[in-house]
Amino acid sequence: MDDNFTMNYIENEYKIRKKYEGEHPLSYGEIACDVVAILGADRQGFDPNPHKVTLINNGPDEKLVLFVIACKGDNPQRYWRMMISTDEEKDKVFANAHSKKTPTEEQINRYMDVAFSLFQTVGCITDGVY
């Protein structure tokens, strides 16, 4: 794990919480993009792009969702990955995704747990560095 990412996540996770206090995230993908948005640049100055997050999911029977993240710029020189294992219980976190009601504290905490689980898996996948 990149030290800069860790520091930025700790300092900025409140931004994700604040967003979820006002609205329910719709998917793992949305939470992944929210995590990427607060990571900032890594030690070498490469900055993950929250608008270039690709979801890889092999279907409903697959229990692992993988995200590939490109760095900012027209010709990305670095990529990272995040992943989360899913099951029916974890998927219930999105049961209220389209609700107009404000998320409860319990729901917010569950969304933040997913965000932290994703953050813990961030790793570089460029140049054979994992």
Numbers of helices and strands, H then E, in the chain? 4, 4
The per-residue pLDDT for 23 is 93
Separation between Cα atoms, residue 38 and residue 10, nearest integer Å: 9
- Quick one: pLDDT at residue 11? 96
pLDDT per residue as tens digits for the range 87-105: 766 677 777 777 788 999 9
Look at residue 127 in the predicted model and tell me its pLDDT: 59
3-state secondary structure 10-68: HHHHHHHHHHHHHCCCCCHHHHHHHHHHHHCCCCCCCCEEEEEEEEECCCCCCCEEEEE
For the chain, give every domain's residue range: 3-124
Per-residue pLDDT tens for 16-72? 999 999 999 998 999 999 999 999 999 888 999 999 999 988 766 778 889 999 999
Instruction: Give the pLDDT score at 128.
Output: 52
